[in-house]
Structure formats: C-alpha cells, structure tokens
Amino acid sequence: MSDTYYEFGTAAERWDRARLFFEAREYGTAVRILRGLVAEHPGQTAQRLLLARAYYHSAQLSRAEAELREILERDPVEHYARLMLGRTLERQGRADEAAPHLRMAAAMAGELPS
C-alpha cells in the first residue's frame, strides 16, 4: 500500500483507523498511521502512547522506550506510560533500570508491596 492511504482523511479518521489496525494486531500498519498523527499533534498523549504500544508489540523496543520517555518527560505521573516503560526495559534485559519504574507504577495504582 502507498503512504497516501495512511495520510487520507481527518486526524480523527486516521486515529480511528490506527486503533482498528492496532486492535487487529497489525502493529506495523498502526505505526505508519500513528507516526504521522504524532508528528502533527506531538502533545497528544493518547496517540503517542498507542504508538509506543505498537512499537512494543512489534519488537521495536528502543522506539517504544523513546516515545514513553517523551510522554513521561511531559507528564511524570502518567501511570500506564510508567508501567510500559518498565516492561519495555525489562524486555530489553535492563531489569535494574526497569525496577524503579515498575515500583512507581505499582504505587500509583495503589498496590502495596508484599
């Protein structure tokens, strides 16, 4: 498919399309759509978070990490981004770096240490 298809429509239509591809586990296609949306609206957390999730599920872990760090730089209490960053770091074999993020995400969720 050409890139024209991904650029077609309003931002809302492309957002809906990206979510459909993500839900269908077509993560690469979702990434192609979401990259454009994030470039157009860099301050919108939902689009950037879905892009990070699509990167994570398509094993583009360094890209997922970069998106998650960008979210957390702007909003340090974004619980799901904190959890995802911890999981992304774990998946890269960086458990020591992941641990504080996972502890913080658990605390934000109200989970008590055992």
Query: Tens digit of pLDDT for each residue in 1-17?
Result: 455 677 788 999 999 99
Residue 3: per-residue pLDDT = 58
Residue 112: per-residue pLDDT = 67
Give this prediction's pTM. 0.90
Alpha-carbon distances of 40 from 81, 87, 110, rounded to whole Å: 21, 27, 35
Residue 42: per-residue pLDDT = 93
Spans in the chain with pLDDT lower than 50: 1
110: left (phi over 0), alpha (psi -120 to 50) or beta: left
| Separation of alpha carbons 106 and 104, rounded Å | 5
